[in-house]
Chain A
Amino acid sequence: MAYDDAEQLEAFRLDTRKWLEANCPPSMRTPMPDDEVVWGGRNATFKNPESKLWLDRMGEKGWTSPEWPKEYGGGGLSRAEARVLEQELRRIKARPPLFSFGLWMFGPALLEFGNHEQKLRFIPDILKGKIRWCQGYSEPGAGSDLAGLQTRCEDKGDHYLINGQKVWTSYADKADWIFCLVRTDTSTKHEGISFILFDMKSPGVEARPIQLISGESPFCETFFTDVKVPKDQLVGRVNGGWDIAKRLLQFERSSISAGGFGGTGGSGILGPEDYAKQHIGTDEAGRILDGDLRGRITDHRMYAKAFALTVQRQTEQAKAGQAVGHTASILKYGAAKMNQDRHELLIEALGTEGLGWEGEGFDKNAKKVTRQWLRSKGNSIEGGTSEINLNVIAKRVLGLKEHQ
């Protein structure tokens, strides 16, 4: 069905509203606690059974990614229809049915660079949340200098053989498949990289969680020892992986910054101004008593507002077909600064209440802030450090030259 004029769009809205009314379970219209986030995959667990129902129903319609082509299980909606769906979801405060690197990063890249068979094979399971993907990019010797990666991929005639090590692989211990950058030519740098996919259950794959300063372990070290990969799982051409890698990084940076590293919305954590009022107090006009802290909180709040308006502006301009070059790096840089500033202010406003680690004697949310504050330090490192993002802006956006 095509909805191309305003009237048809309105009809689509009514249909969508009716469908959501019937199919979005009641608890999926409430703020999402952190432990009910759905990542899908073969070993998916659903603390709230309605989360599974919601994912299955949305996945069936392809509405976990409404604009992806129908042919591969996507929603096949136009931009305008997708926007209506978005509005209707927001109207009932529906939770996102699925969090997924497949949806945010790998899927968009595969749709652009994969062949028909690969799309048919992988895209539907991403949409339905059946396969959980992880990203094999960074290596111990290739962080900011990603193209220096050394994981070897040798052509053995009827298959590829992979040996090497990745690091900072998000949720590698929970993922089913990996999209991975490997070296297929050692005689050159960027032009010797390929983009390959394989099952994390393949013999020779081992993922070991890394404990962070926040106490959490969202990342792994991942080892590959003589991992055999069928040849039809290489995306694009051999040695042509760097272009895919860069494009995917843009998707990654946009998805990180679109969320502004924000939590899931139902976290119960207040703003720094609220904690400052609570723990420091206010004068008769309602101003936070610590004038210096108040000023810095205001600075942050304004930055956050300016950031949100910039995301909105760029979205609108993109929709209007106006070129928005390399905004991903700008937003990624801004999002990292914003989230780190916010958490530093939260900790400062909470005072010693924000310095608990575990056990009794501290507010539950305050302890969460403490962990998030530590975690936020990674925001300016992961997905391209802030320094690398500034390099990208300087060179690709502003046209400044390389040092000779």
Chain B
Amino acid sequence: MSFVLTEDQEMLRETAMAFARDELPVAHLRALRDKGANGNDPATRKKLAELGFFGVIVPDEPGGETFGLVGLGQILEAQGRTLAATPLVQTALIAASALQLGGTPAQKAEWLPKIAAGEVTFALALDESAHFSPYSIATEAERDGQGFTLNGLKKYVPDGHYADVFIVAARTFGEAGDRHGISLFLVPKGAKGVTVTPLKTVDSHGAAHVSFDGVHVPQTALVGPADEGADILDPLLDRAAIGMAAEMLGSAQAAFDMTLDYLNNRKQFGQLIGSFQSLQHRAAKMFVELEMTRSCVAAALGAVDGGKADVAELASLAKAKAGELVHLVSNECVQMHGGIGMTDAAEPGFYMKRARVQEALYGSASWHRDRYARLNGF
């Protein structure tokens, strides 16, 4: 396992950090919110494509070198710092991974170059209730002779309000709760019977409920084996959780830095409030948690690239730790800013709102703690 970035990864990290800082500050998200863009930001997508950020885990030719998930993790951490709303998690990470894990050669040839070029956006249509529970899929995909017919409702699909293509997890066998019987499908947003209902979400990133009513897809829409889609979905969701954890690390770090800055400037009783020991100790404890989480995220990213056997365990560790961290730090950020932290004009609120969305996506801390215990046999 390597906790030290390669020179190329280091450069990628610097580029991403500078880009987020200069082009996508929190003020950018605020502006998008205020003009009602709901996280849909084609201009930024174009810039991300020019930087090559969509193709970080996609090799130029099959089998070629990439920056790996470690590389993509640096970009997600950078966008997390400024809460940037981008399609990178859904498209550059999840869609590229799904195709790499389960796509046919034809699917890969069709979609991977377009993903890498930033010409298409995807969204994973997974959850059907208000809580992450990947095997509880009830959306049906019935074999209809020439392919499948899909019926069901997917809730809170990130990027679902603008994605061009959905990756839909549906049931071809068994019933909700079964691991066996899940299949994954590519469904274009324009397919007959697809209805997208945009959602205005607390973090201003937006999302959508997506319903599938008698949507017909051909056999070639299937990604991975029929009925055994969970074999693709499990590692895919581990990567999604790890990618989110990297983004959350960035958010937590930025909220922490902002808080520290405030502690070092705000005066009360003629003193910098950062000189009060009760605040110093809370800051120090947050810093310890940050450092620990950083190690977990780095280990999880590296484990995917290294093809390690403990990816699932590290994914749950990273997502749970990052969830606890960003929860703690975003709350402390508001509290330590005092009254100003309650105002919309200041940024702590943005971090807290986004944190709760990050925490919920791909498994809450408590979901991953439970899974960590199961994986460890207790």
A residues bordering B, Cβ < 8 Å? Answer: 273, 276-277, 282, 285-288, 294-295, 297-299, 301-303, 305-307, 309-310, 312-313, 316-317, 320, 322, 327, 330, 333-334, 387, 389-391, 393-395, 397-404
Contacts and interface: CB of A to CB of B under 8 A. Distances in A.
Interface string B242-272: 0000000000000000001001100000111
Contacts of A399: 260, 264
A395 B295 CA distance: 23
B275 A400 contact: yes
B296 A309 contact: yes
B150 to A, nearest CB: 32
Q: Which 6 A-B pairs rank lowest in CB-CB distance, beginning with the nearest?
A: A394-B280, A393-B284, A309-B295, A313-B3, A273-B378, A306-B292
26 contacts: A277-B378, A286-B377, A287-B373, A287-B378, A295-B373, A302-B372, A306-B293, A309-B292, A309-B296, A312-B3, A333-B288, A387-B281, A390-B285, A391-B281, A394-B281, A397-B287, A398-B260, A398-B283, A400-B260, A400-B263, A400-B275, A400-B280, A402-B275, A403-B271, A403-B277, A404-B270
B283 A394 contact: yes
B: interface residue count bin: 35 or more
A272 B199 CA distance: 45
B280 A391 contact: yes
Interface string B1-44: 11110000000000000000000000000000000000000000
Contacts of B80: none
Given A391-B280, A397-B287, A398-B284, A303 B292 contact: yes
Nearest to B288: A330
A385 to B, nearest CB: 12
Majority-rule SS of A interface residues: helix
B294 interface: yes
Contacts of A273: 373, 376-378
Contacts of A302: 317, 320-321, 369, 372
B373 A401 contact: no
A46 to B, nearest CB: 38
A295 B292 contact: no
B370 interface: yes
Given A301-B372, A302-B372, A394-B283, A400 B274 contact: yes
Given A277-B378, A287-B373, A309-B299, A393 B317 contact: no
Contact of A310 (B263, B274, B292, B366): B292
B345 to A, nearest CB: 25
A273 B271 CA distance: 47
B3 A316 contact: yes
A392 to B, nearest CB: 8
